[in-house]
């Protein structure tokens, strides 16, 4: 029998939406005004109305809102998950496969070094410090180490795109190379993480050969035959001339891809991301379609998800400064060194290499999503998840200004040499 929300639970659900969405949008807009990613304000909104502040100083109010009506809270969690699925769908649009082929050599050099170094350093750090800092009562040392290596190696494609737009260098040679490297970085990182999710679901330190093959084959299919099928479906939907038909088909395909990867043992966000990559360059899914979906997701659904991240954090009872500093240091050190080496090998000047390294150091929603999945799977503990959130916020804040400084410094040096 299908259970329905009662009238009281519907009211409770709407109250939860309002209490979370209003401060999330308000603080997100404040961050945008000061040239910061809105995600920072959205997470902070969740911290304010979550257990950290509201739950600590007004526990009865917090309990009445978020705990007393579990069905209403469950409904909110469902809406928040739709938000992150659509956000990853949109992130897939930014992966331009043609651009990856055009700027392949330099971008791959930067991307691979920017993945290998953080992965190795993150893995080894957690492996050797597991018992002291990263153990959480479950014997999953290998999986936890692999998770951290992957989480620290992924670059936030959306954050880098915003930085390049703000600096007005998105269409320059350097901008194209950085964006392409971030695309490769993002895509390879999600492939790695999908394999680690298989290991999480296995509940042991080994993952079957067929699990890995399944993930790789599905990703390959989505970028080849699946991509062709999707384009044909969009073309058929567009014959009527109605924008709404194409839009509906695209969103349905997103949900189908999400459901398939979830069924394969990989989280739904990965399937949504792959469908977004496949749809991204379709002539039938126009910029107008993307803008409609982008505006609704970014301004309504995504803030609910990132505020829900803050709801899961308690910086008063769980905050561990030592873990936060450790994660921040190894994340920045590994990414900066790796990207710096790759950009130098690809022929960039010293200042260009440093600018690229700090651009590639930017983390974003992907790390939050991965961390939340790992937290739910009991791969990491609450304090470690908080460390990942702090690392994400800090790298988002510092990457833009430092990248701008070294890029302008390189331009001044080149002008002086003329």
pLDDT at 250: 92
pLDDT at 251: 92
305 with 369: CB under 8 angstroms? no
pLDDT at 211: 62
Pair (141, 57) in one structural domain: no
Boundary-marking domain end, from 32, 62, 86: 86
Please give the Cα distance from 298 to 319 (Å, whole number).
29
Q: Is residue 109 part of a domain?
A: yes
> Which has the higher per-residue pLDDT, 67 or 329?
329
Region 324-351 average pLDDT = 85
Please give the Cα distance from 118 to 105 (Å, whole number).
20
Pair (239, 124) in one structural domain: yes
CATH number (domain holding residue 163): 1.20.1530.20
pLDDT at 144: 85
Structure tokens at 71: 């069905």
pLDDT at 392: 85
DSSP 418: -
Checking if the pLDDT of 188 tops 80, the result is: no
Q: Is residue 2 part of a domain?
A: no
Over pLDDT 70: what percentage of the chain?
87
Pair (70, 209) in one structural domain: no
Boundary-marking domain end, from 55, 86, 117: 86
Q: Please enumerate, as own/partner, the contacts of 70-73 that have beta carbons within 8 Å and a separation of 24 or more.
A: 71/3, 71/5, 71/9, 72/5, 72/9, 72/10, 72/12, 72/13, 72/16, 73/16
Checking if the pLDDT of 391 tops 60, the result is: yes
pLDDT tens string 9-45: 889 899 999 999 999 999 989 988 887 778 888 888 9
- Burial class of residue 112 (count of CB atoms within 10 Å of its CB; 0-12, 13-18, 19+): middle
Pair (300, 386) in one structural domain: yes
H-only helix segments in 154-172? 157-167
Boundary-marking domain end, from 43, 66, 86: 86
Region 86-102 average pLDDT = 76
pLDDT at 205: 44
pLDDT tens string 126-175: 898 888 878 766 667 888 888 888 888 887 766 676 667 666 666 666 77
87 with 365: CB under 8 angstroms? yes
pLDDT at 137: 61
Region 358-378 average pLDDT = 79
Pair (53, 176) in one structural domain: no
Pair (67, 208) in one structural domain: no
Q: Is residue 376 part of a domain?
A: yes
pTM for this structure? Answer: 0.76
Please give the Cα distance from 305 to 81 (Å, whole number).
7
Please give the Cα distance from 120 to 124 (Å, whole number).
6
If one counts the domains in the chain, the total is: 2
Pair (164, 283) in one structural domain: yes
180 with 162: CB under 8 angstroms? no
Structural domain harbouring 77? 7-86
Residue-level length of the chain: 418
pLDDT at 410: 67
pLDDT tens string 191-217: 777 777 766 665 544 445 666 677 778
Cα 43 versus chain centre, distance:
13
285 with 250: CB under 8 angstroms? yes
Pair (251, 129) in one structural domain: yes
pLDDT at 21: 94
pLDDT at 17: 93
Q: Is residue 312 part of a domain?
A: no
Pair (113, 257) in one structural domain: yes
Pair (173, 32) in one structural domain: no
Question: Mean pLDDT of all residues in the chain?
Answer: 81
Checking if the pLDDT of 58 tops 80, the result is: yes
- In angstroms, how far apart are the furthest CA atoms of the chain? 77
Pair (75, 133) in one structural domain: no
Checking if the pLDDT of 404 tops 80, the result is: no
């Amino acid at each position: 029998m299908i259970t329905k929300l009662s009238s009281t639970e519907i009211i409770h659900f709407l109250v939860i939406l309002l209490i979370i969405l209003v401060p999330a949008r308000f603080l997100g807009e404040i961050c945008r005004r000061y040239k910061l990613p809105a995600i920072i304000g959205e997470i902070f909104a969740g911290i304010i109305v979550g257990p950290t502040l509201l739950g600590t100083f007004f526990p009865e109010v917090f309990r009445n809102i978020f705990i007393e009506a579990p069905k209403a809270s469950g409904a909110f969690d469902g809406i928040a998950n739709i938000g992150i699925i659509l956000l990853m769908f949109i992130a897939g649009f930014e992966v331009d496969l043609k651009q990856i082929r055009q700027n392949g050599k330099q971008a791959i050099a930067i991307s691979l070094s920017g993945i290998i170094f953080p992965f190795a350093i993150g893995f080894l750090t957690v492996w050797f410090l597991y018992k002291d800092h990263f153990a959480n009562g479950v014997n999953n040392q290998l999986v936890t180490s692999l998770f951290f290596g992957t989480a620290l190696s992924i670059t936030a494609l959306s954050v880098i795109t915003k930085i390049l737009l703000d600096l007005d260098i998105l269409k320059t040679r350097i901008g194209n190379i950085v964006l392409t490297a971030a695309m490769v970085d993002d895509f390879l990182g999600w492939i790695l993480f999908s394999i680690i999710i298989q290991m999480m679901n296995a509940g042991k330190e080994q993952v079957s050969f067929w699990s890995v093959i399944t993930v790789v084959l599905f990703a390959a299919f989505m970028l080849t035959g699946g991509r062709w099928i999707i384009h044909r479906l969009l073309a058929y939907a567009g014959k009527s001339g109605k924008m709404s038909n194409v839009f509906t088909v695209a969103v349905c395909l997103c949900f189908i891809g999400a459901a398939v990867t979830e069924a394969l043992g990989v989280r739904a966000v990965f399937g949504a991301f792959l469908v977004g990559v496949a749809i991204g360059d379709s002539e039938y899914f126009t910029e107008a379609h993307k803008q409609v979906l982008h505006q609704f997701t970014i301004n309504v659904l995504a803030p609910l998800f990132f505020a829900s991240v803050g709801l899961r954090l308690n910086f008063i009872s769980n905050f561990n400064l030592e873990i936060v500093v450790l994660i921040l240091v190894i994340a920045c050190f590994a990414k900066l060194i790796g990207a710096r080496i790759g950009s130098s090998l690809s022929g960039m000047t010293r200042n260009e290499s440093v600018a690229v390294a700090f651009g590639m150091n930017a983390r974003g929603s992907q790390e939050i999503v991965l961390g939340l999945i790992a937290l739910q799977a009991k791969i990491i503990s609450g304090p470690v998840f908080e460390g990942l959130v702090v690392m994400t916020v800090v790298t988002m804040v510092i990457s833009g200004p430092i990248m701008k400084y070294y890029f302008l410094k390189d331009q001044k040096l080149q002008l002086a040499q003329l």
